[in-house]
Amino acid sequence: MTQEKIRELISQMTLEEKAGMCSGEDFWHTKAVERLGIPKSMVSDGPHGLRKQDAMSDHLGVNESIKAVCFPAGCGAAASFNRELLEDMGKTLGNECQAEGVSVILGPAINIKRSPLCGRNFEYYSEDPLLATQMAGALIKGVQSKHVGTSIKHFFANNQETRRMSSTSEMDERTMREIYLAAFEGAIAKEKPWTVMCSYNRINGVYAAENKMALTDILRGEWGFDGYVVSDWGAVNRRVSDLEAGLDLEMPSSGGENDKLIVEAVSNGTLSESVLDTAVERILNIIYRFVENRDESAVFDRDADHEKARKIAEETVVLLKNQEILPIPKTKKVAFIGKYAKQPRYQGGGSSHINSHKVTSAVEAAYGLYNVTYAEGFRDDVDQTEDALLQEAIEIAEQADVAVVFAGLPDAFESEGFDRNHMRMPECQNELIQKISEVQPNIVVVLHNGSPVEMPWENKVKGIIEAYLGGQAIGGAVVDIIFGNINPSGRLPETFPLQLEDNPSFLYYIGEGDVVEYREGIFVGYRYYDKKKMPVLFPFGHGLSYTDFAYSRLRVSKEHILDTETLKVTVDVTNTGDMAGKEVIQLYVAEKESAVIRPEKELRDFTKVKLEPGETKTVEFELTSRAFAYWNTQIHNWYVETGEFDILIGKSSRDIVLSKTVEVKGTTKLQVKYTLDTTFGDIMKDERAVEILQPLMKLDIFADDKEEGVAAAAISKEMREAMIKYMPIRGAVSFGGDCTLDELQSLLDQLNE
């Protein structure tokens, strides 16, 4: 519908109808205005499948939803490092929504994984904002290509479940921009999601729902967002100021309470009616965008989508460790041990919980095809070793050539609504692995978890497969990887620290009361571990393959560029093994020297290529200024310093295989104002200053000829230089410079002109 028509429609609406349009009729629908022919419109969770509730509704996954297909959760989806795959997953979800009449699917959820403890990490993508935003962008692109909207969430800085509705995430401007906003920025600016969901929490004291800086200035002003902002379910705190800040749609319904407040505020003149009209216009835009593009022929083919879920799952599995144990030859006798072999933990609890139409377990996928036995091994409803289960597991492990233990985190350990309080697996599972290692040297552990775990048994097993929460078809994908039908190609979208205490947010997570200080700043995930050169269990970007890849011929289009130019980077990758496989090529950028404290390196691009044995492909990246920039708090903008930058090609953040240095010239000049308090060191960086101020550098007490006898021992050349460098200009008057304060000031005035 054209803008004029929508505006005409709005002009016919009563004040009450307009206020009503800004909140839900129930849990999942916007209101209809029948007399004007405005239909109601349905939204549903999200993000990795359709949780459409036809009868009883709730936002925590309590009541039944329709039978649907559960795709890999965000943790796994991001591990694919494959944008096309996520776009395809998005298309499938979009088609399901068309078939079910759902206008907006509530996802992707991409909050940064600040700590391994966040209960909702399984839904989220990464500790790295570039990976998160690009993978989310791909999913959005896919869904929206089917004329169905997405709701990227939870905007923003919602990085824990504890007190999620009242806590304030306290962070500095650079951290906000480089990490927490950046996770949303790329996806929103490039893929234009139809809606954005604001989070429950406060940011530096201001609720996300009434955060004008976030919802209007940044989202719309800077990133060009043109859809509607919806509240997370129940996130509205003060309806009228929320509306003014840019929060258009309140979900679910407030039983008319908040609508009344809007009507009152317009009637008594405290809220301009045009603010309300704008929100209604944004909501109607999206409603009609869906209505007018309905695909009545769309069919939700659950079996076909199950197969898609399986294809996607294949790329979300990360091979963490392999000491010549995998793939297991098909003729070997293999013991599948652990409850999750038969009942995989393939999704997390809460609002994203899908009512799967079927689930394929590893046992089901392997039986009949391979020589596999099964024992349950442990219970996951209580963390307690059960001797009978343990004994049975030990027995079949002893009789087999290889034991594959399917372990991980039970539902009770991670879910929406609460955070983990440690990073360990249940003790009974650790004990099971330990006991099996006493009778069987050939062990592979398959993990089902949404977030890192400590692995005290790591050196007792030969193989580790991180299967994440891989969706309802994960069993088939894992079996194909175990027996070598599929070559694993997932990479870790997060660091696995050795222990929780190593995590940079450890000291401050989950805050004091409602105040959560992000004191680690920009040093989240590998940005911290790499800078500290700390040993980790598995680094960001890590993932093994059954074949080998060699890198060569790293080239750059230019060795000196302006920050307004684009740098082309190319590199050749060859499959030197004898199995076809997919490799993820990661490009990091590192500034050699900076005036600000920067991470050692940052992921700036990545790509995934499929290579047959012996095949070589040339991959190309294009870097623009953002790849070199940091957020400068003086100009409140991205800023590139002039200097040298290393272009690093890696197989992970810890395995850099090739590098090349380029010189970038920044074209943005920072305004400097010199005062009498400016140091000599800082002022001398200005070429114009050197000549004018040179005479003052020969300050009496620091002169060379003083360095004799005792003085020579007391004042080294280094000390003298440092004293001058860090001396304010006014020091010239006190320490023998031949000038007055007035003369100095007039020199500074000249420079400041």
Q: Residues interacting with ligand BGC, by CB under 6 A?
A: 45-46, 59, 106, 153, 232-233, 351
Least distance (Å) between residue 113 CB and ligand BGC: 16
End-to-end CA distance of the chain: 55
H, E, C per residue of 464-495: EEECCCCCCCHHHHHHHHHCCCCCCCCCCCCC
Residue number with CB closer to ligand BGC (253 or 351) = 351
- CA 557, CA 570: separation in Å to the nearest integer? 8
Q: Which two tokens stand for residue 210?
A: 């009434």
- Phi then psi for residue 750, to 5 deg, are -60, -45
Count of CB atoms within 10 A of residue 486's CB?
Answer: 21
Q: Which two tokens stand for residue 243?
A: 């509306």
Least distance (Å) between residue 349 CB and ligand BGC: 12
Residue number with CB closer to ligand BGC (94 or 539) = 94
To the nearest 10 degrees (0 to 180), the angle between helices 474-482 and 302-316 is 40
In a 3-state reduction of DSSP, which class is residue 446? strand
Q: Between the CA of residue 591 and those of 284, 535, 627, 628, 642, what are the distances in Å?
A: 47, 22, 10, 7, 10
Residue number with CB closer to ligand BGC (233 or 630) = 233
Least distance (Å) between residue 346 CB and ligand BGC: 19
Annotated active-site residue 704? The verdict is no
Residue number with CB closer to ligand BGC (59 or 141) = 59
Q: Between the CA of residue 255 and those of 23, 252, 588, what are the distances in Å?
A: 9, 9, 51
Catalytic residue among 45, 128, 232, 380, which? 232
Residues near 660 by Cβ (< 8 Å), separated by ≥ 6? 554, 555, 556, 569, 646, 647
Residue number with CB closer to ligand BGC (48 or 542) = 48
Nearest in space to 471 (alpha carbons), one of 192, 32, 77, 156: 77
Residue number with CB closer to ligand BGC (113 or 153) = 153
Least distance (Å) between residue 195 CB and ligand BGC: 11
- CA 509, CA 159: separation in Å to the nearest integer? 10
Least distance (Å) between residue 553 CB and ligand BGC: 45
Q: Is 606 exposed, middle or buried (0-12, 13-18, 19+ CB in 10 A)?
A: buried
> Do the Cβ atoms of 629 and 601 come closer than 8 Å?
no
To the nearest 10 degrees (0 to 180), the angle between helices 387-399 and 427-437 is 30
Residue number with CB closer to ligand BGC (232 or 641) = 232
Element (H, E) at 195: strand 195-198
Residue 173 CA, chain-centre distance (Å), reads 18
The C-alpha angle with vertex 660 and arms to 656 and 665, in degrees rounded to 5, equals 130
Residue number with CB closer to ligand BGC (232 or 315) = 232
Cis peptide before 344 (omega within 30 of 0): no
Least distance (Å) between residue 60 CB and ligand BGC: 6
Residue number with CB closer to ligand BGC (85 or 106) = 106
Alpha-carbon torsion 104, 105, 106, 107, what sign?
negative
Least distance (Å) between residue 416 CB and ligand BGC: 7
- CA 224, CA 68: separation in Å to the nearest integer? 34
Residue number with CB closer to ligand BGC (74 or 650) = 74
To the nearest 10 degrees (0 to 180), the angle between helices 83-100 and 129-144 is 40
Residue number with CB closer to ligand BGC (16 or 58) = 58
How do beta strands 567-575 and 549-556 pair? antiparallel
- CA 532, CA 198: separation in Å to the nearest integer? 34
Residues near 526 by Cβ (< 8 Å), separated by ≥ 6? 127, 128, 495, 539, 540, 541, 599, 653
Least distance (Å) between residue 59 CB and ligand BGC: 3
Nearest in space to 164 (alpha carbons), one of 330, 309, 9, 351: 351
How do beta strands 643-652 and 655-665 pair? antiparallel
Return the active site residues: 232
